[in-house]
A and B are shown apart, each in its own frame.
Chain A
Amino acid sequence: MVLSDSDIVNLLMNGEIIVTPLINAEIQIGSSSIDVRLGTEFKLIRRIKQTHFNLKLPQSEIQKHIREYTENVHIQPREPFILHPGEFALGCTLEYISLPNNIAGRLEGRSTWGRAGLQVHSTAGLIDPGFQGIITFELHNLGKLPLPLFAGVRIAQIVFYPCNNVMRNYSEKTAAKYGKSLEIRDTMFYQEDEYKKIFKSDNEMIDSQYNETQNV
């Protein structure tokens, strides 16, 4: 079941859902969603010399490679961020979002921008109950013309779902990596438990070798 506008307004009034700044509630609250706006930060993918993410390296080195792989862009108000055709970039909401333990959210595009070829998330649209922070967009221009994107423009919407009997919310999840953030974070896939298991013996060996070389 999707929450309706009256459910959303009621939850906002009670402070159970927080969407701030809610600049123009009359326009932003639709019959079953809230429009969210584009923030000022972006991460673009750079061309780098690395042939692949070498997960056998120590985590600090992987982090360094990922930092090299992305370029941070911060736009000023009234200044456009140009997303070129075929280009992928991470962006973020202007709004800080906080969900209670019994409501999940889903990020969706807006048809106005969809028609221009803008995709706001490629794969990760789910917002877990208990999430707090800004939402990251996975922006992709599927059209053939560059898209000028300005901070404050409504490019996406969040739909809410009731979600009862949640035992561990997002912030209590041990594997949660991106919550309570006010900025876009780089991917941390290498911190996933599976990778730790896959490379367990290798990593132990490599970490000790790496530490030895550092000590030398």
Chain B
Amino acid sequence: MDNLVEKVLCLEVLEKISRLQRFLNLEPDSLRQQGTEVVDIFTETINCVLDNLYPLLHRLRNDAKLDVWEQLAVTRRLSSTMSSVDVLHAQLQLIHSSWLQPVTHIFVRDILDFVPLERRHKNVSVVLSNSYSFEESDLASYFEYMLRSNIEVAAQGETPTIFLPKIERDNPLNWAILIHECGHADYAGVAEHFSIDTVIPTDVDDSVKNMLNNWAEEIYCDLFAIKILGPAYLASFITFTFALSWAGGSEIESVTHPADIVRICIMLEALEKSKLKIVLPNSELEYPDIASFFYNILEERTKLERRHTRLAIKPLKAPVALQDFVDVISERIDDQMELGKKLVSEDLSRINYLAERLARGIPIGSFHDPILVDSAKKAFEDLRPDEIISRFDEFKKAVKEPRAMLWEILNAGWLHKVSVIYPKGFSLFFGSNNMNLHEKIMIWNSELEVVDKLLLKSIESSQIQKIME
């Protein structure tokens, strides 16, 4: 048989591709039910890989014996296709979405509601990632980029996908960072409204322009998240930075991101302007509110590192004051989001009430208005039975529980974490007791697990209530 080697090689490559397809079809229903488009983009990319083989198959169908150069070209093409299959195979880790908390999809859909309908993505997929970083990527372009060196692949449509670190799977408090990533998915559609170019000096070279555009996007995503969540996003962001930043890392900017400390200051200013403060109850925590608590612990850590490492902190290279970006974005961001109602300081009064409920182990997806209940209670005690009958519907209304918004749930969660869980941890690990470290970790883990479950349940029931109301 002519071209035997090429034909066998080709069959092997095709078998690998078909096995890849079969794997994708193993659990498509359960994966799709979770609202992920990741399986679809895998399937489309595999189809692209197959398309690359058509001319080659055609050539092999023709019985004419290949000359040595053609043989080389065919085998090389098959090898590069096989490399593409390898690359895709390595990415199968992304479709272990069945491990993802089903509530994650509810969470992301709730966030997408803040983007105006004409610009809103139908879906933003979330996948668990092996690396500890929150990222947003267009999966179609990502696959195109990875396969480009092997074969020609054209990205099919947009598939915004967020990578969630595996260990954050059950932790809604840190899902706050997913909101920043949702902002990235939205930025391409919104960038033109901010006219960022007008604040970038014309005399800088393209690399600086690119850097500044990247920074503008990051600032937009931070403010997008602050508008939706208030202090809870800042708390999430700082704990993420706090745990990761190496000596003084929070003070160093990169081509893609302004320095974390600069971003934090921008967020603090936005919270200050809106008077959004979550006051900490009297405690030993030294700081009056959530934002200042987290800002100060990060600042203390950075100072400490700076003193011991004598790290030279590079000054910001930006030729424009970032404040110009912040002003341009802040001025127009409200018009670019479906905020419905802006967060105002008065709304925060309910956070304490919700945090108290959490401390009692009660989910906080909804809550009744304590003032309304108090006045109804008083009336109920004072009225005669016949009066109670005539006003009974009012009493029923008083015990009705309006749903808690996502931002209320997460801010109450952070308040609970700082005011209840941290002190429990301080006493468990640094107080006097006879437990060994293994026992302590077990207790700590069960404390955290209870909070995770309460918050997951709360987010889910709030979303179901949104449908039922």
Asked if A14 and B393 sit within 8 Å, CB to CB, the answer is no
- A132–B362 Cα distance when bound, in Å, is 9
- A151–B400 Cα distance when bound, in Å, is 19
Knowing A14-B377, A40-B102, A182-B454, the reply to whether A9 touches B399 (Cβ < 8 A) is yes
CB proximity of B460 to chain A, nearest CB, Å: 6
Binding site for A on B (CB under 8 A): 33-35, 102, 105-106, 361-363, 365-368, 373, 376-377, 380, 388, 392-393, 395-401, 403, 453-454, 457, 460-465, 467-469
Number of interface residues of A (CB under 8 A): 33
Contacts of B399 in A (CB 8 A): 9, 12-13, 22, 25, 29
Asked if B463 and A26 sit within 8 Å, CB to CB, the answer is no
Asked if A23 and B401 sit within 8 Å, CB to CB, the answer is yes
Contacts of A14 in B (CB 8 A): 377
- A14–B377 Cα distance when bound, in Å, is 7
Contacts of B397 in A (CB 8 A): 25-26
Closest to A34 in B: B399
Chain A to chain B contacts (Cβ below 8 Å), 15 pairs: A9-B380, A10-B380, A20-B363, A21-B401, A22-B400, A23-B400, A23-B469, A25-B400, A25-B401, A40-B464, A75-B102, A77-B464, A94-B461, A96-B363, A152-B465
Asked if B396 and A9 sit within 8 Å, CB to CB, the answer is yes
Asked if B362 and A98 sit within 8 Å, CB to CB, the answer is yes
Closest to B399 in A: A12
Asked if A24 and B380 sit within 8 Å, CB to CB, the answer is no
Closest 8 CB pairs of A and B: A21-B366, A25-B400, A12-B399, A152-B464, A74-B102, A22-B401, A25-B396, A13-B377
Asked if B400 and A40 sit within 8 Å, CB to CB, the answer is no
- A132–B357 Cα distance when bound, in Å, is 13
- A4–B34 Cα distance when bound, in Å, is 42
- A29–B366 Cα distance when bound, in Å, is 17
Asked if B392 and A6 sit within 8 Å, CB to CB, the answer is yes
Q: How many pairs of A and B residues are in contact by the CB < 8 Å rule? A: 98
From A77, A180, A183, give the contact of B106 (CB < 8 A): A77
Asked if B401 and A20 sit within 8 Å, CB to CB, the answer is yes
Residue in B105, B393, B401, B467 with the greatest tally of chain A CB atoms within 10 Å:
B401
Knowing A77-B106, A151-B464, the reply to whether A182 touches B401 (Cβ < 8 A) is no
Knowing A21-B465, A23-B468, the reply to whether A182 touches B365 (Cβ < 8 A) is no
Contacts of B361 in A (CB 8 A): 132, 180
CB-defined interface of A73-117 with B at 8 Å, one 1/0 digit per residue? 011111100000000000000101010000000000000000000
- A206–B121 Cα distance when bound, in Å, is 58
CB-defined interface of A47-73 with B at 8 Å, one 1/0 digit per residue? 000000000000000000000000000
Contacts of A74 in B (CB 8 A): 102
